């Protein structure tokens, strides 16, 4: 039997009405790509509040096609440590939330983000096509993914009969900077849902992610004592040197525990070269494979901060922590991976999965007890660079994959009771 025949046989379990809607999604390929292209032209960098507001207006128009009214949820500001050590508020705008059939027996969380890593001043602003490749800011990560999500939802809503599943869509403006404002919404959503679908891009070769490391961002604010280097050098206490000492101590932790990394990203501090620097801020990231490693890493970071702060004339204040808990490949995740592969097989796809050191909203959902597949967007690559791209052929393909997952959950082909009671 050919691969096409095998796929058709597998697909028959979903029903003839599903087949018709799969064909409809195939016909939406160009509209999906064109809308992603138009959205890419709207700059919505994580700190560009006017651009985020413009993107939000566009998205509100799109979500109005769903059978429930959208809600705009203002996010609580997060905190940032300035180079002088002062802690300030950072505003993020608002998330969009849509709840459809909240009383249904099966609840699905669908999440996405409409911010990108590109500020308005960045040169990478205009999308374009190169044959079967769409290039531009956010075409893969994840304006393209949001389009895939909505295409799948609209196809699902077109299925005849009463639905057994309800769902909640959450679109946020701060994922690229750690979801600091939307984290409480993600936690609430994850606690309510049986299963989660998140629309980060799949790999360029079509592979998806099954497990993720956890990620923490820390800021160590150091205060020393300023002094004139010519007249009173010995009276000074260098905050930059203290921060550098902490940086070296952190770097020595690499290799101490499998899968744990400490990356010193920046040291802000100092002014004139003839002044002992009074202020410095050390910024670093920690990645861990599991919860036990996270506890160890946090303890080591706290120890180093205490050691630096114990020096004469030095104060050290540690800020930050784990914003993305680890997402391990547990039994629930393995079951969900199996279902996704079954849906892929019905489309003639032999889906591969792999772990990732990167993080996303899927980490947050998993931490709230919600197993999820978090790379259901189009296939692409070059993320966080001016080489970002999405494969045009993958838009309809991945919309069909999500549609089959939703239909399978609704029709009992996938038993959510095996995931979460």
Round to whole Å and give the CA distance between 41 and 108. Answer: 30
Taking alpha carbons only, the member of 130, 131, 199, 134 closest to residue 170 is 199
Can you name the residues that pair with 168 across neighbouring β-strands?
99, 109
DSSP secondary structure letters along 62-131: HHTTSSS--EEEEPPPEEEE-TTS-EEEE---EEEEEEE-TTSSEEEEEEEE--BS--TTSS----EEET
Active-site annotation holder among 37, 48, 115, 245: 115
Round to whole Å and give the CA distance between 402 and 343. Answer: 8
Instruction: Tell me the two tokens of residue 155.
Output: 């196809």
Instruction: Tell me the two tokens of residue 387.
Output: 């080489």
Instruction: Tell me the two tokens of residue 120.
Output: 């308005």
Per-residue b/e over 222-260, b at no fewer than 16 CB within 10 Å? bbbbbbeeeeeeeebbbbbbbbbbbbebbeebeeeeeeb
Q: How would you classify the pairing of strands 128-130 and 133-135?
A: antiparallel
φ/ψ (deg, to 5) at 248: -65, -40
What's the distance, Cα to Cα, between the start and end of the chain in Å? 39
Active-site annotation holder among 174, 175, 245, 388: 175
Q: Has 175 been annotated as catalytic?
A: yes
Integer Rg of the chain from CA: 24
Taking alpha carbons only, the member of 4, 7, 11 closest to residue 411 is 11
Q: Has 23 been annotated as catalytic?
A: no
Just list the catalytic residues.
Answer: 115, 175
């Amino acid at each position: 039997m050919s691969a096409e025949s095998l796929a058709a046989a597998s697909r028959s379990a979903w029903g003839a009405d599903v087949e018709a809607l799969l064909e409809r999604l195939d016909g939406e390929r160009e509209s999906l790509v064109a809308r992603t292209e138009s959205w890419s032209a709207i700059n919505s960098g994580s700190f560009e509040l006017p651009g985020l507001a413009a993107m939000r207006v566009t998205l509100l128009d799109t979500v109005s096609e769903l059978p429930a009214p959208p809600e705009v949820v203002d996010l609580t500001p997060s905190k940032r440590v300035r180079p002088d050590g002062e802690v300030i508020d950072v505003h993020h705008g608002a998330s969009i939330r849509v709840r459809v059939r909240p009383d249904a027996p099966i609840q699905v969380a669908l999440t996405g983000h409409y911010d990108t890593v590109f500020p308005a001043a960045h040169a990478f602003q205009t999308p374009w096509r190169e044959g079967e490749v769409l290039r531009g800011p956010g075409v893969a990560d994840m304006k393209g993914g949001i389009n895939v999500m909505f295409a799948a939802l609209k196809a699902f809503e077109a299925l005849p009969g009463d639905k057994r599943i309800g769902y909640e869509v959450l679109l946020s403006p701060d994922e690229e900077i750690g979801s600091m404002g939307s984290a409480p919404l993600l936690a609430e959503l994850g606690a309510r849902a049986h299963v989660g679908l998140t629309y980060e891009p799949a790999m360029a070769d079509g592979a998806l992610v099954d497990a993720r490391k956890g990620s923490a961002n820390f800021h160590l604010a150091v205060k020393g004592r300023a002094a004139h280097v010519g007249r009173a050098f010995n009276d000074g206490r260098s905050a930059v040197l203290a921060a550098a000492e902490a940086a070296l101590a952190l770097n020595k932790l690499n290799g101490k525990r499998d899968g744990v990394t400490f990356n010193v990203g920046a040291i802000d501090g100092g002014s004139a070269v003839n002044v002992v620097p009074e202020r410095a801020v050390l910024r670093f990231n920690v990645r861990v494979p599991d919860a036990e490693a996270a506890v160890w890493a946090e303890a080591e970071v706290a120890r180093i901060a205490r050691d630096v702060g114990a020096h004469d004339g030095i104060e050290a204040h540690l800020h930050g922590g784990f914003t993305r808990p680890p997402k391990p490949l547990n039994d629930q995740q393995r079951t969900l991976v199996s279902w996704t592969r079954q849906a892929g097989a019905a489309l003639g796809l032999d889906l591969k999965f792999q772990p990732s050191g990167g993080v996303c909203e899927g980490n947050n959902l998993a931490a709230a007890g919600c197993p999820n597949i978090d790379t259901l967007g189009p296939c692409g690559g070059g993320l966080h660079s001016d080489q970002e791209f999405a494969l045009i052929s993958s838009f309809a393909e991945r919309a069909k994959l999500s549609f089959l997952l939703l239909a399978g959950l609704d029709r009992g082909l996938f038993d959510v009771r095996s995931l979460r009671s």
